[in-house]
Amino acid sequence: MQSKREATPLTVEMEPDAQQGTSSSSKGKRRVGLFSLLRYKWGESLLRTVVGELCNICLRIAAILAEPILKYGPAIPDDPRQDGQMPFHQACIYGLSCSEDIRQLSRKHRWMGPLDQQLAAEAHQLGAAWALRTLDSCRESDDKEPVQNSCDPPKSHV
């Protein structure tokens, strides 16, 4: 017969086999440290979310104070590529589109502040730059190869 050891405050002994009526010596005992258990619970807790947001408040205030222009709203980029080659009318259309998209996001998510709006403007710019790069690469591959490229929709075989 095997004697049970007492659990220390830092160790919890679990015997899943004892609940099923099988011998615990066949599979052995599992030890789960108290800190591992707390770390697992912490990862899924509401308290972790609240503590994280409270820590972020200080960083958000510091970022707003570092960029005083944010009190007037997000800085809308005028050229997604940042190379100054976009014609003026297209830059205006892009700026209006970006501004309207941020306005719609702000209406949908009432908690959005100036930092969130600035991040949305930067994400809009990065998405537009990616779209233009993809479009350019599709045009270049169309010039080089007459076969179907990855930018074209798949052709149906009837």
> What pLDDT sits at residue 8?
44
SS3 content of the chain, % helix, strand, coil (to 5): 60, 5, 35
Q: Facing residues of 12 across strands?
A: 32
At 33-57, the pLDDT tens digits run 666 777 777 777 888 888 888 989 9
Instruction: Find where tokens 């309207």 sit.
Output: 100
Instruction: Give Cβ neighbours of residue 30 (< 8 Å, ≥ 6 apart).
Output: 13, 14, 15, 16
> What pLDDT sits at residue 31?
53
Q: How far is CA 44 from CA 14, 34, 35, 54, 120, in A?
A: 22, 16, 15, 17, 28
Per-residue DSSP letters for 91-132? HHHHHHHHHHHHHHHHHH-TT--HHHHHHHHHHHHHHHHHHH
Instruction: Find where tokens 């220390």 sit.
Output: 8
> What pLDDT sits at residue 3?
47
Average pLDDT over residues 108-120: 93
CB 74 within 8 A of CB 120: yes
Helix (H) / strand (E) element for 46: namely: helix 46-66
Query: So where are the chain's domains?
Result: 31-66, 75-142
pLDDT band for 89, please (50, 70, 90 cuts): confident
pTM confidence score: 0.58
Q: Is the pLDDT of residue 154 over 90?
A: no
Average pLDDT over residues 100-116: 93
Q: Is the pLDDT of residue 26 over 60?
A: no
Q: Is the pLDDT of residue 158 over 80?
A: no
Spell 59-78 as b/e; 16+ CB within 10 A means b. eeeeeeeeeeebeeebebbb
